[in-house]
Amino acid sequence: MSNSKEVLQKAKGSWAQSWLKEPKLFYTNGNFQKPQGNRTWKVVNPSSEEVLCEVPIANAEDLNSVVKSANLAFTQGTWSEAPRKMRREALIRIGALVREHAEELATLESLANGKLFSESFIDDIPESADVFDYYAGWIDKIYGETVPVDPGFLNYTRKEPVGVCALLVPWNFPLLLACWKIAPALAMGNTVIVKPSEYTPLSVLRLAEIIHEKAQLPPGVFNVVTGDAETGKLISEHPQIHKVSFTGSTAVGKKVLTGSAQSNLKTVTLELGGKSPNILFADLPDLEAAIERSCTAMFSHKGEKCSEPTRILIEDSIYEKVITGLVERASKIRLGDAFQEGVDQGPQAHQAHYQKVLSYIELGLKEGAKLVCGGISEPGPQKGFFVRPTIFSEVKPEMRIAQEEIFGPVLVAIRFKTEEEAIPIANQTPYGLAAGLWTSDLSRAHRVAARLDSGMVFVNRYGCYDFASPFGGFKQSGWGKEMALHSLEAYTKTKSVWIKL
């Protein structure tokens, strides 16, 4: 495996090396700001375990300064009351800038997260750009209503921006999920404070530089702070922040909600964990295609996806064929540095998560599941946080590995005999983000989709996403939706106006 210097040279020549050496600052009020404290976080390359750089950890004084700037920009109306054409053109400009700097952003994404450069460059960055175009088109299409009240009055509603929106972004899709939040928030006239994960702040910091240099946003509209869990706590509890949009674990999401409740009851949107079922009925239209797609959806991006199909429920008559097909494909996956040619899977994003994934593999063995692929006994490269694609068969629905989110390349396979048996198994976890089913029976497809307690259901192709379709789950998978019109509703508030005639 290549060392960090070779990786940097291959990915972006001397640019990334030079950029990483530059001091990392907060971005607020249209300028870069030095931290008031001296705490820092070391950003580590998970492929090599080498430190890439250090970023400041925002303390209460830092955050107060950023919030003050964002509030001033909002109350002055430099963005919320700007002509809609100006806002639309600004979002389109940001999208174009992301495309222009795609290689840089993808390089930083893969250096900090460990996902393959091809996954960053082909999967993440184009969508990060396109989402700005999508929401730019919505800016002049959100209407209030005239309400049919009693005679003598005119009643109408107004859609207004929420205010200062704090956007807490996870480490698995750092830039993409940031843009999923930034675009609709700005489209509706809000000001934003983005806090990337401390593990993967690089691409968002570079985005701040790009926006500063070329996007022409009014000062205070777009702000970035870096920090750790304590910074996130300060954000959730801050009384001058009007909304928090958080993507991450369910445990942390509950803390965000508690912080909001204890401060100002700010609006909260939560996109949390998942333990998504993927049901293969024996009458599925194409067995090989189902196995191929299930394997790809499960193990791409090293299994660090909230909606990945981590529980595969297989009808008894095709169980062995499916397991054999999955093992055959998963065992061929090659692990290595995110920039290394011929590699199919990078490392887990950071050491603590790597240890967590390994602990669940050990737990699966203790619970009596049958390890048929991968596992701790099949290590990856000597350096880096690598976990081989792992498959457990003969898993019982009540086992912890079938109930708890692992968020890594660990798939559990569960047998079922009938549709009536499969649906309760699919629904019995605390999560309800996504679900999949494969069948040639159209009636069964509609029937099962209606009974699955999940925010998204994929029939005959697991993992379908579009900006026009809402993304989000039920139960402990979150509150509210990302994407589509539904995301815009989360960044607006409805005012009712009465006029006596």
| φ and ψ at residue 412, rounded to 5 degrees | -115, 135
Beta strand 370-373 with 390-393 is antiparallel
DSSP codes of every residue in 114-181: ---HHIIIIIIHHHHHHHHHHHHTTTT-----EE---TTEEEEEEEEE-SEEEEE--SSSHHHHHHHH
Question: How far apart are the C-alpha atoms of 346 and 45, rounded to whole Å?
Answer: 11
Answer yes or no: are the C-beta atoms of 242 and 163 closer than 8 Å.
Answer: yes
Question: How far apart are the C-alpha atoms of 124 and 384, rounded to whole Å?
Answer: 22
DSSP codes of every residue in 164-219: EEEEE--SSSHHHHHHHHHHHHHHTT-EEEEE--TTS-HHHHHHHHHHHHHT-PPT
Q: How far is CA 427 from CA 129, 415, 436, 473, in A?
A: 35, 15, 12, 13
Q: Would residue 404 show up in a list of annotated catalytic residues for this protein? A: no
What is the identity of the amino acid at 181?
A: K
Question: How far apart are the C-alpha atoms of 66 and 416, rounded to whole Å?
Answer: 54
Q: Bridge-partner residues for 158, per DSSP?
A: 495
Q: Would residue 306 show up in a list of annotated catalytic residues for this protein? A: yes
Query: Which residue among 104, 109, 127, 271 is the active-site one?
Result: 271
Answer yes or no: are the C-beta atoms of 264 and 235 closer than 8 Å.
Answer: no
Question: How far apart are the C-alpha atoms of 281 and 80, rounded to whole Å?
Answer: 51
Within 10 A of 500 (CB to CB), how many other CB atoms are there?
6
| φ and ψ at residue 220, rounded to 5 degrees | 90, -10
Q: Which two tokens stand for residue 387?
A: 């976990």
Question: How far apart are the C-alpha atoms of 435 and 387, rounded to whole Å?
Answer: 25
Query: Which residue among 179, 295, 306, 373 is the active-site one?
Result: 306
- Order of strands across the sheet that contains 478-479: 31-33, 26-28, 222-224, 191-195, 164-168, 243-247, 267-271, 478-479
**CA-based torsion, 243, 247, 248, 254: positive or negative:** positive
Q: If you ran DSSP here, which 8-state letter would residue 476 be given?
A: T
Question: How far apart are the C-alpha atoms of 402 and 247, rounded to whole Å?
Answer: 22
Which residues are identified as catalytic? 271, 306
